DNA sequence: TAAAAAATTTAGATAAATCTAAAAATTAAT
DNA sequence: ATTAATTTTTAGATTTATCTAAATTTTTTA
């Protein structure tokens, strides 16, 4: 149906999209590790296929069809990540690259059966919601840890940064999905924070606080 | 490491190889649904990479490195087929095309964990042996049903033809892996056969007998 | 064993996805 | 409101895997 390159562009456009602004050529070039000229070429092709709305120099938005396809790829990515962690016992920092390949396995029948096999999980190992077969996402609203106050408490429900380094750091500090934390102190100098976790106090940088998603 | 096209060529060369003769350009073109000239181009590339021994006009053989790679792809193919049938409840005639995609997922760590997860199966849903992580195959020697005599009995252990049509036919006749059969009669006119299966007599064509592998 | 047939390779093109360098358009700054 | 900086697009190449048509080599047949 669509090539591997096209699928990766659609997924990236989806991830860069927000309600207000359209996605720029350079944003895509950065995320996809490619050159702006290559992006322009691909945008023309995706526009020809009616998967994006593209006005030269004005960036792009996904069409409804394009969004459906993007959500299906993300569904596959997250279900495979869940499989790798829950069934094959990989750590949460090991699965992203494998899922980048597996998300392109084409069969929807396969992914729907995998979904059933695992009991229809709602979130992937990084706390990201898994779209259902109709593209519906169970979106709960989360706050960045850096946006909450001293004495507030909450549950870690997601990460913004998915790099193995960050995930390994969190694992080591027991700052993993589902853990409850309380903000004990915020140092105004560098916005670093002291957290009370289930068994100990942890001092984290603002960089870390900026990449942890909390449900209050 | 190797491209998808390269992997498919290596696998095809492996499947077409036998002890005596080398594999010809045309054999590969037929199996891969491509043109002889395309095959020649690829053979040069694989020879440059030292994955095959190629003498123009004389066909090819895999090098030891090439064979290792081919066996690893076949291992992945068969383990994924086993997964699809045993864990996701697909029928044996539904899994081949999906496995054609999945065999190219690169991680060996993944495939080794999948192997463990499933309890180190020795044969895929079609009775084909699954190479272990060192490329060792548990080869038991099977005979074509068409090569055995009246009153001989045996167990169905494999199929030579893997098309959905053939597999669906076998399913319907209860001629599936593990079933015991006895040859009741062979008609000299067309080499068709009457078999005694566990619950009934079945009359099969020589075409069918030519594609069923039996252990005596 | 020479001609005919078949198999294989070479030459030259094409489509997809990428690149560099240059041109054009947009945005920001004086 | 010009000029300067930034962003984006166009033009022209490159790489990979294909293809068709023609040339070459091998094999078969008479
Ligand atoms: Mn991921
Ligand atoms: Mn994830
Ligand atoms: Mn198969
Ligand atoms: Mn099989």
For residue A39, say whether its CB is under 7 Å from any atom of strand D: yes
Q: How far apart are CA A25 and CA A13, in angstroms?
A: 10
pLDDT band at B138 (very low <50, low <70, confident <90, very high): confident
Residue B106, beta-bridge partner list: none
Question: How far does the CA of residue A51 sit from the closest CA of chain B (Å)?
Answer: 24
Helix, strand and coil in chain B, % to nearest 5: 40, 20, 40
Element (H, E) at B3: none
Question: How far, in Å, is the centroid of ligand 1 from the Cα of A50?
Answer: 27
Question: How far, in Å, is the centroid of ligand 1 from the Cα of A31?
Answer: 14
For residue B44, say whether its CB is under 7 Å from any atom of strand D: no
Please state the CATH superfamily assignment of the domain spanning residues A143-215 in this structure: Ferrous iron transport protein A (FeoA) (2.30.30.90)
- The answer as to CATH 1.10.3470.10 being correct for domain A4-62 is no
Q: Measure, in angstroms, how far nucleotide C2 C1' is from residue B57 CA.
A: 22
Ligand whose nearest atom lies closest to the CA of B102: 3
For residue B152, say whether its CB is under 7 Å from any atom of strand D: no
Task: Give the nucleotide with minimal C1' distance to the Cα of B38.
Answer: D18
What pLDDT was estimated at residue B151?
95
Identify all chain A residues contacting B97, using CB atoms and an 8 Å cutoff: 107
Question: How far does the CA of residue B71 sit from the closest CA of chain A (Å)?
Answer: 21
pTM exceeding 0.85 = yes
Tens-digit pLDDT profile for residues B56-109: 999 999 999 999 999 999 999 999 999 999 999 999 999 999 999 999 999 999
Identify all chain B residues contacting A98, using CB atoms and an 8 Å cutoff: 105, 107, 110
pLDDT of chain A along its 216 residues, tens only? 899 999 999 999 999 999 888 999 999 999 999 999 999 999 999 999 999 999 999 999 999 999 999 999 999 999 999 999 999 999 999 999 999 999 999 999 999 999 999 999 999 999 999 999 999 998 888 999 999 999 999 999 999 999 999 999 999 999 999 999 999 999 999 999 999 998 899 999 999 999 999 998
Contact across the interface for B98 and A113, Cβ inside 8 Å: no
**pLDDT at B198 > cutoff 90:** no
DSSP secondary structure letters along A146-198: GGS-TT-EEEEEEES---HHHHHHHHHTT--TT-EEEEEEEETTTTEEEEE-S
Task: Give the nucleotide with minimal C1' distance to the Cα of B36.
Answer: C8
Pick the residue of A88, A94, A106 with the most B CBs within 10 A to test the interface with B by mutation: A88
Tens-digit pLDDT profile for residues B162-175: 999 999 999 999 99
For residue B35, say whether its CB is under 7 Å from any atom of strand D: yes
For residue A139, say whether its CB is under 7 Å from any atom of strand C: no
Identify all chain A residues contacting B104, using CB atoms and an 8 Å cutoff: 101
- Whether the CA torsion B23, B29, B35, B39 is positive or negative: it is negative
Exposure b/e, A113-129, CB count within 10 A at least 16 = b: bbbeeeeebebbbbbbb
Q: Measure, in angstroms, how far nucleotide C19 C1' is from residue B80 CA.
A: 37
Domain boundaries, chain A: 4-62, 143-215
């Amino acid at each position: 149906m669509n090539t591997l390159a096209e699928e990766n562009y659609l997924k990236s456009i989806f991830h860069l999209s927000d309600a207000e602004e359209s996605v720029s050529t350079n944003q895509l070039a950065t995320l996809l590790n490619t050159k702006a000229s290559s992006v322009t070429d691909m945008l023309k092709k995706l526009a020809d296929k009616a998967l994006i709305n593209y006005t030269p120099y004005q960036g792009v938005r996904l069409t409804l069809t394009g969004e459906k396809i993007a959500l299906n790829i993300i569904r596959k990515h997250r279900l495979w990540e869940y499989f790798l962690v829950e069934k094959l016992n990989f750590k949460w920092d090991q699965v992203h690259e494998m899922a980048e390949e597996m998300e392109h396995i084409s069969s929807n029948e396969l992914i729907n059966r995998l979904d059933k096999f695992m009991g229809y999980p709602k979130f992937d190992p990084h706390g990201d919601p898994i779209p259902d077969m109709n593209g519906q996402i169970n979106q709960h609203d989360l706050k960045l840890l850096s946006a909450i106050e001293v004495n507030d408490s909450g549950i870690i429900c997601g990460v913004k940064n998915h790099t193995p380094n960050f995930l390994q750091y969190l694992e080591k500090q027991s700052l993993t999905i589902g853990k409850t934390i309380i903000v004990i102190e915020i140092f105004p100098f560098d916005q670093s924070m002291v957290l009370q976790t289930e068994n100990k106090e942890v001092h984290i940088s603002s960089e870390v606080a900026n990449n942890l998603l909390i449900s209050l």
